């Protein structure tokens, strides 16, 4: 079982409080008793990732309590292949981008081999036993390179969307006749991109005023000016979830901007 969740808040100082009050919404550790989980965010000028085994002493909630960021990507894989280690856990990082996917079970060795044969990354092309999730990451990284959107910051959102759309097109070509039932989250350049590709993704919106009225604790009062968005491949908690009809980009303003891929 795979879990995939992205969280965006308008104030980095409120990420930990939001995650604490909405723990059931953002937690991915119920993916199984065995496997791995991970989370990634931008901090100290770079993309940081934290990974651990499921069921261990440290879980996502404990790590989120110390995270100061406006975007966080969480993922878990409760049914790992025997060769997988914590290093294979998602989200995966490529310099200033994060990527995580769920619903990848149908993407077999042939898909990975096609990506390795075509990628611009020499290291991935010769890597032994790469995962399907790593291959998905490289498809989008190559698309960002082609769109001149990999190493340049403060790009127009339209440029990033065009590159991601190109990545989706290429991903579909690599999959071939196999049915694509995956969902992908990408984070970079102050944007979270959510791309449903045959696997549903859902979005929920939150405001601090709602929680303050329902909960008078100091933790809730800190969220008075909060705006937040959660994108997930499952519907949990008491949030009002909406199915995404298309890919979306969510910036630090917590506006959900759809685009066609």
Domains of the chain: 2-259 (3.60.20.10)
- 18-53 in b/e form (b: 16+ CB < 10 A) is bbebbeebbbbbebbeebbbbbbbbeeeebeebbbb
Q: What is the DSSP secondary structure assignment for residue 27, as one 8-state letter?
A: -
Number of other residues whose CB lies within 10 A of the CB of residue 132 = 18
pTM of the shown model: 0.93
Q: Is the separation of the CB atoms in 196 and 244 below 8 Å?
A: yes
What string of pLDDT tens digits covers the 261 residues of the chain?
899 999 999 999 999 999 988 889 998 988 777 889 999 999 988 999 999 998 888 888 889 989 999 999 999 998 756 567 888 899 999 989 999 999 998 888 899 999 999 998 888 988 888 899 999 999 999 999 998 877 666 789 999 999 999 999 999 999 976 778 999 999 998 999 999 999 999 999 998 876 656 676 776 777 888 999 999 999 998 889 999 999 999 999 999 999 999
């Amino acid at each position: 079982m795979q879990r995939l969740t992205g969280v965006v808040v308008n104030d980095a100082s409120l990420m930990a409080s939001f995650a604490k009050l909405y723990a059931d919404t953002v937690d991915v550790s119920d993916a199984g008793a065995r496997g791995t989980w991970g989370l990634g965010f931008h901090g100290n000028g770079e993309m940081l990732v934290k990974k651990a085994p499921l069921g261990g002493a440290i879980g996502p909630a404990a790590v989120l309590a110390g995270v100061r960021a406006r975007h966080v990507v969480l993922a878990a894989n409760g049914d790992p292949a025997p060769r997988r280690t914590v290093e294979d856990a998602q989200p995966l990082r490529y310099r200033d981008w994060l990527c995580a996917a769920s619903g990848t079970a149908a993407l077999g060795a042939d898909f990975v081999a096609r990506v390795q044969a075509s990628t611009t990354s020499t290291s991935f092309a010769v890597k032994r036993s790469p995962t399907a999730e790593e291959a998905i990451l490289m498809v989008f990284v190559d698309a960002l390179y082609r769109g001149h959107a990999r190493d340049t910051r403060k790009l127009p959102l339209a440029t990033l969307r065009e590159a991601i759309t190109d990545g989706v097109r290429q991903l579909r070509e690599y999959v071939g006749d196999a049915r694509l039932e995956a969902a992908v989250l990408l984070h970079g350049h102050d944007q979270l991109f959510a791309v449903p590709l045959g696997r549903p993704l859902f979005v929920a919106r939150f405001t601090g005023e709602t929680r303050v009225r329902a909960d008078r604790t100091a933790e809730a009062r800190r969220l008075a000016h909060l705006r937040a968005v959660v994108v997930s491949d499952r519907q949990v908690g008491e949030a009002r979830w909406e199915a995404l009809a298309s890919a979306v980009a969510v910036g630090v303003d917590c506006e959900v901007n759809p685009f066609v891929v």
